[in-house]
Structure 1
Amino acid sequence: MANSKNSTLPTRPKTAHSVDPKPSLKNYVFTDKLGSGTYATVYKAFKRWGNRQSVAIKCVKKNSLNKASTENLLTEIGLLKKLNHPHIVTLYDFLWDDFYIYIIMEYCSGGDLSQFIRSKRSLPEYIVKRFLQQLVKAMMYLRSHNVAHMDLKPQNILLTAPPNTRLKIGDFGFAKHVDLNDELHIMRGSPLYMAPEIICKGKYDPRVDIWSIGVIMYECLFGRAPFASKSLKELQEKIWDSKPVEIPYGVSISDQCRDLLLKILRRDPDERITFDEFFHHPFVDLEHSPSKDCLTKAIDMVKEAVQNDEKGDYKKAVKLYCESLEYFVPAIRHEENEVKKEALRKRVHDYMKRAEELKLLMKPKRPPPPVRSSSQPEEPNDIDELLSLAEQDDELVAAIKVLKAAEKESEKEDYEKAMTHYELGLNSIIKFIKTEEDGRRKSLMSKLAAKGMDDAEKIKAFLDVKDLKTEETQPKEEDANDSVSSEKCVIQ
């Protein structure tokens, strides 16, 4: 048995009627067949001794290799030996015997993305975003090493087992060390996921990987690739067609998601979104993707929230509590220890419960009704008195009535409408105060304006925080993996 230090692969002479034995390695037990292709079969296996770790072993028949497939195999082995990233399949070793070359790789028990899409038909946007964030992190790593994959498709994207499903890019047989400015001319990839310039122009560069990711994203969202066809002829016609790719009708996606898809799926690579623009697009939102940094950011934010809470600055406290959720949720997903994950959920639940309590404290209070005996006559209030003093001035009367209406709407908790009327009435009455001579009428107007501004400020502060989210808008990790449900789920 040879080892992986050799730079070339030994071959054996082809003989007529030779039958290759089943692949085997003395240190591994082969179990399930995971898949097969033109010149290779992939098996699940585990070590005979030690930790009995499960692996995937790609078994390549030596007598099936021509010059091109040998080069692809050497490229794949060479790249995987150098690449080390949580979202790229890990190469453990490669060996060979007289009949096979064995590439021993990380085993991903969740199957591939193609199987996952077929099992769900299509995926909700938040799942697609989660997968896309992982794919982008891997692509950023590849770009930093000047590597272009050239064959990105759902079948080459593997998934780890739930509940903490992770995406892993595999099959680097067509990959290549290439700079962004380098032009390539050899046909690489799968037609359904291949950028149009590869076929239509016969020359291309690493930007073809962006197109392929767009096709994968499209297929995840809509259950089919944009050029899905019933025949090769139909596929060729769609590839050569100059018509822009369109988003299917009847499927609701966010504006940010739509914007990214349409910028990726541009037939002309010069009009297509660049790598840097892609990596920093707001839909990708790597800032809030699961990582070890999320928990630190969330804790810093919630500490500041507690400080403002204690000082009585409830508006700032609520905003910080709610903003911390945007980091706590990915931090929970990143945590693999289930005990720690559950403890973190409970702590976050307490923070969000406090945010809801502060919202209630900020809610404008209804004034208590005046206490009087049944025989006591009702005294005119300031507004009624001011209305009587302003009865000769229609514009002033209108402003006072608008403020009175705003007060009534606030009592009914119609705060948006009340805010509109407060702004309208205050703007008018302040103009009158500036030109009004000193006296009872000016005093009442000033008093009314001061009360209106105070009420309006309280309403504005409440409106600024009342719709801030204090619950996760996506299912918990285990629910998402089991059912890919889109129901709202409180963190608890």
Structure 2
Amino acid sequence: MAGPGWGPPRLDGFILTERLGSGTYATVYKAYAKKDTREVVAIKCVAKKSLNKASVENLLTEIEILKGIRHPHIVQLKDFQWDSDNIYLIMEFCAGGDLSRFIHTRRILPERVARVFMQQLASALQFLHERNISHLDLKPQNILLSSLEKPHLKLADFGFAQHMSPWDEKHVLRGSPLYMAPEMVCQRQYDARVDLWSVGVILYEALFGQPPFASRSFTELEEKIRSNRVIEDFFAHPWVDLEHMPSGESLARATALVVQAVKKDQDGDAAAALSLYCQALDFFVPALHYEMDAQRKEAIKAKVGQYVSRAEELKAIVSSSNRALLRQGTSARDLLREMARDKPRLLAALEVASAATAKEEEAGGEQAALDLYQHGLGELLVLLAAEPPGRRRELLHTEVQNLMARAEYLKEQVKMRESRWAAETLDKEGLSESVRSSCTLQ
């Protein structure tokens, strides 16, 4: 609330109430629209007398950027006004406070929760970077939550943001030291990738409860965060998995895959149909997350139940076929082994393939089998390249093809099995056990 002796400023059309926070040159208040809707908003008040040249530039940048942006994970600027004393930015209200408070009240966040937050933050940043906009001051205090009941991240505070090109050369120190990339601390040339450094620091803090480079002085901090390591492709990273982020497109993508699955099923291609049904379930999970209407959600769940039932039937068919193929492959491998008695390296590689087959037949042995298949293939491909024409080369070529097919098949199964986040989400929807059994072949 406002301190003794002073209160929030007056603004036509709004009733300003409690103070939500203060920054370098602005104070943010919760407010209600006086009109019939009584809409709740956040109003950032900037006293004109506190503005220097840099503050004016920051404020104009924030207005310019937010006016042109509409994204579910970026705080919306609804309007802005001014009077003789203040400039007012009328913003979307986020009832959940900021991410810093959210983390600290829970000490640490489960990896499942952190991943959902990272998807949402990645989605917002990708949207900005596609428009050559960098935030430059990413930190938990600048990331708001829509609510505490069903929190969605909203990127806020664009005072330092700017349009950037890869060749821009910047020497102005911006942002918060704890979350600042080394090239910014050292005041070297930097670009949009500095935001990804900050994302990494934020993720670390979410998982461990404190930033990785906390220090007693700026000099000590600078020494800690100096690094030459290359930042990986964050947006395409499988852990972030933007492809399966809950969105308005999730249901359409799931439905399109089901259409393909039904076609393959009708054509008698059980393995392809099962794979497509399971891919569809990977999109139905976020679709259920995204859908807010209870009736539509129940309709989706009913459809998912039908697809799970069919996937279970297909699983039985494919499992039977796989066992027959494994026996066939073992028989052909035995013949090749007889013809390779003078090739110890080939014999050793075939033993690895046999170990992979045995491991695949064990319950839960998919990942170990995949590792063995890939190791064996690495050797066999080298040997195949050096093998002269003849019957042994033909058998070796067939063996390599069979092993590659097994490895690709297992890779898909492992991916489905490791989709823990999807399984946990479906637990809440009451469908977990069915999906697990359908999408994991024993």
Which residue in 2 is equivalent to 1:102? 88
Deviation of 1:479 after TM superposition, in Å, equals 6.5
Aligned counterpart, 1:123: 109
Do structure 1's residue 206 and structure 2's residue 192 form an aligned pair? yes
Tell me whether 1:238 sits opposite 2:196 in the alignment: no
Establish whether residue 357 from structure 1 lines up as the match of residue 313 from structure 2: yes
In 2, Cα distance between equivalents of 1:52 and 1:90: 18
Query: Is 1:306 the counterpart of 2:255 in the alignment?
Result: no
Q: Residues 359 and 92 (structure 1 numbering): CA distance in 2 closer, same or farther, change over 3 Å?
A: same
Per-residue deviation at 1:206? 2.7
Shift of 1:174: 0.9
How many positions carry a matched residue from both structures? 357
Change (3 A) 1:226 1:302: same
Matched, 1:476 2:434: no
Following the alignment from structure 1 to structure 2, what is the Cα–Cα distance between the partners of residues 474 and 116? 25
Instruction: Indicate conservation of the 8 Å contact 1:472/1:491, yes or no.
Output: no
Q: Is the 8 A contact 1:472 1:490 kept in 2?
A: no
Query: What is the percentage of aligned positions where both structures have the same residue?
Result: 47
Per the normalisation by structure 2, the TM-score is: 0.70
Q: 1:272 aligns with which of 221, 230, 238?
A: 230
**Could you report, residue by residue, the CA deviation over 1:114-160 in whole angstroms, capped at 9, with x for unpaired residues?**
12211322223232222222222222222232221110111111121
Distance 1:134 1:281 in 2: 14
> Are 1:140 and 2:123 matched, yes or no?
no
1:333 is aligned to 2:285:
no
User: In structure 1, how many angstroms separate the alpha carbons of the residues matched to 2:184 and 2:124?
Assistant: 23
| Distance 1:77-1:471 versus aligned 2 partners, 3 A rule | closer
- Worse-matched range after superposition: 135-144 or 208-217: 135-144
2:267 and 2:56 mapped to 1: Cα distance?
69
Post-superposition offset of 1:471: 8.7
Q: Deviations over 1:97-116 (max 9, x none)?
A: 23322110111122211122
| CA distance in structure 2 between the aligned counterparts of 1:488 and 1:38, rounded to whole angstroms | 49
Is the contact made by 1:194 and 1:208 (CA closer than 8 Å) also made in structure 2?
yes
- d(CA) in 1 for partners of 2:191, 2:126: 16
Letter in structure 2 aligned against 1:236: T
1:191 to partner: Cα distance: 0.7
Instruction: Assess, with a 3 A threshold, how the Cα gap between structure 1 residues 313 and 78 changes in structure 2: closer, same or farther.
Output: closer
What is the CA–CA distance in structure 2 between the aligned matches of 1:79 and 1:316, rounded to whole Å? 46
Cα offsets for 1:58-98 (capped at 9, x unmatched): 11222222222222122212221122222211111111223
CA contact (8 A) 1:57 1:104 kept: yes
Alignment of 1:6-405 (within 5 A): 22-161=8-147, 164-229=150-215, 231=216, 233=217, 236-241=219-224, 267-268=227-228, 271-273=229-231, 277-361=233-317, 364=320
Distance in 2 (CA, whole Å) between partners of 1:162 and 1:339 is 24
Unmatched 5+ residue regions in structure 1? 1-18, 244-266, 366-394, 396-405, 421-455, 481-486
Cα distance, 1:171 vs structure 2? 0.4
Q: Give the match's secondary structure for 2:255.
A: helix
Distance change in 2, residues 1:416/1:131 (3 Å):
closer
For CA contacts below 8 A with separation 6 or more, give which structure has more relative contact order: 1
- The residue number in structure 2 matching 1:261 is none
CA distance in 2, matches of 1:478, 1:97: 53
Which amino acid counterpart does residue 476 of structure 1 have in structure 2?
T
Q: Classify 1:478/1:52 alpha carbon distance in 2 versus 1 (closer, same or farther; 3 Å).
A: farther
> Structure 2 unaligned runs (5+)?
322-340, 342-353, 370-401, 436-442
Change (3 A) 1:33 1:489: farther
Aligned mates of 2:426, 2:90 — CA distance in 1: 30
- Paired position in structure 2 for 1:369: none
Measure the CA separation in 2 of the matches of 1:170 and 1:491.
Answer: 40
Offset of 1:203 from its aligned partner?
4.2
Structure 1 Cα separation of the partners of residues 277 and 40 of structure 2: 43
RMSD: 3.7
SS in 2 for 1:204: coil
Shift of 1:322: 1.3
Deviation digits for residues 243-293 of structure 1 (CA, Å, limit 9, x no counterpart)? 7xxxxxxxxxxxxxxxxxxxxxxx23xx4337xx33223333222222222
User: 2:397 aligns to what?
Assistant: none
Letter in 2 for 1:240: E
Residue 350 of structure 1: how far off its partner (Å): 2.7
Q: Normalising by the residue count of structure 1, what TM-score does the alignment of the two structures yield?
A: 0.64
Q: 1:40 and 1:156 mapped to 2: Cα distance?
A: 14
Q: CA deviation at 1:167?
A: 1.6
